[in-house]
């Protein structure tokens, strides 16, 4: 199995997860591939609903410099970390859901700056990605308490700020993130807790400019229940849309911006995304 097929397999099996981690893995695989066009097609199709992979590979086909691109993503992650850390104060409780390497970068930076805070996170069924977040935070010596998904209100109501990652951002400003994200955002809104989306701007999905509805991925129903009784239907949506009116701002390498301003800044800084 070559590096491209191996990467595609690991993405589909969720051994590589998180939009930015998937994009980085795709860049590395593309760089080692002999047939770049075939590699691009396979890697994009591994997660066709994720725009960051498409946008990153689009840059590679133009500039063909994977090392430079990976360096840019590392620098951008540091910028997001610093912007996000500004929203954390001593004594804060931070709530987050699922696993976002970008959110962890924000929390890592706040810790590096000497801020004292704790994190509440939810388990994120059926694959428990919240455990990845909790494990990473524990290694950073950031106090973290995990809650069952159904205890999300308890995890959120005493929080000071909510940080979520993003799988995609649409032209209308909707943020698509792990299932449960919209529900938890609505809970945060009810307690007047600010909601920040931490995401690289290349998660903007240019196809949505032309009226194309962003497909919400569904996975195998046996992930929820392998042998349900006859007559029981299973729903296993992986993501859901968050209304931009429920989001305080999007924190990206371009700054801390309202959704509509964010899209204009993406257009200004990366016009090639819109071509």
DSSP state of 110: H
| Secondary structure element (H or E) that encloses residue 58, with its range | helix 51-63
Is 205 catalytic? The answer is no
Residue whose structure tokens are 């590395």: 28
Quote helix, strand, coil % in the chain, to nearest 5.
50, 15, 35
Residue whose structure tokens are 């400003």: 173
3-state secondary structure of 1: coil
Rg value, the chain, Cα: 18
DSSP state of 204: B
Tell me the residue length of the chain: 275
Residue whose structure tokens are 């388990």: 123
Residue tagged active-site, from 2, 5, 31, 98: 98
Taking the C-alpha atoms of residue 236 and residue 217, their distance in angstroms, rounded to an integer, is 9
Taking the C-alpha atoms of residue 65 and residue 56, their distance in angstroms, rounded to an integer, is 11
Encode burial over 58-79: b for 16+ CB neighbours within 10 A, e otherwise. Answer: bbbeeeeebeebbeebeebbeb
Nearest to 179 by CA among 126, 133, 103, 227: 126
Taking the C-alpha atoms of residue 33 and residue 14, their distance in angstroms, rounded to an integer, is 22
Q: Across-strand partners of 176?
A: 168, 241
| Secondary structure element (H or E) that encloses residue 147, with its range | strand 144-147
Is 167 catalytic? The answer is yes
Question: Catalytic residue positions?
Answer: 98, 167
């Amino acid at each position: 199995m070559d590096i491209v097929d191996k990467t595609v397999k690991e993405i589909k099996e969720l051994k590589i997860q998180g939009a930015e981690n998937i994009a980085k893995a795709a860049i590395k695989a593309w760089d080692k591939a002999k047939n770049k066009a075939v590699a691009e097609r396979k890697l994009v199709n591994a997660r066709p609903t994720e725009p960051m992979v498409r946008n990153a590979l689009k840059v590679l086909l133009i500039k063909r410099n994977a090392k430079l691109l990976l360096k840019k993503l590392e620098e951008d992650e540091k910028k997001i970390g610093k912007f996000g850390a500004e929203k954390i104060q001593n004594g804060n409780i931070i709530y987050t859901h699922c696993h976002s390497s970008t959110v962890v970068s924000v929390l890592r930076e706040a810790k590096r700056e000497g801020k004292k805070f704790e994190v509440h996170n939810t388990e994120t069924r059926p694959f428990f990605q919240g455990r990845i977040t909790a494990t990473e935070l524990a290694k950073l010596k950031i106090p973290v308490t995990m809650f069952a998904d159904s205890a999300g209100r308890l995890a959120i109501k005493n929080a000071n700020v909510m940080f979520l990652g993003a799988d995609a951002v649409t032209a209308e400003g909707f943020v698509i993130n792990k299932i449960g994200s919209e529900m938890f955002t609505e809970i945060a809104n009810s307690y007047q807790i600010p909601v920040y989306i931490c995401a690289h701007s290349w998660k903007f999905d240019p196809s949505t400019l032309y009226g194309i509805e962003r497909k919400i991925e569904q996975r195998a129903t046996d992930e929820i229940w392998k042998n349900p009784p006859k007559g029981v239907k299973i729903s296993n949506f992986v993501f859901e849309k968050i209304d931009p009116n429920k989001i305080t701002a999007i924190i990206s390498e371009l700054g801390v911006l309202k959704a509509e301003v964010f899209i204009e800044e993406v257009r200004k800084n990366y016009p090639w995304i819109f071509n």
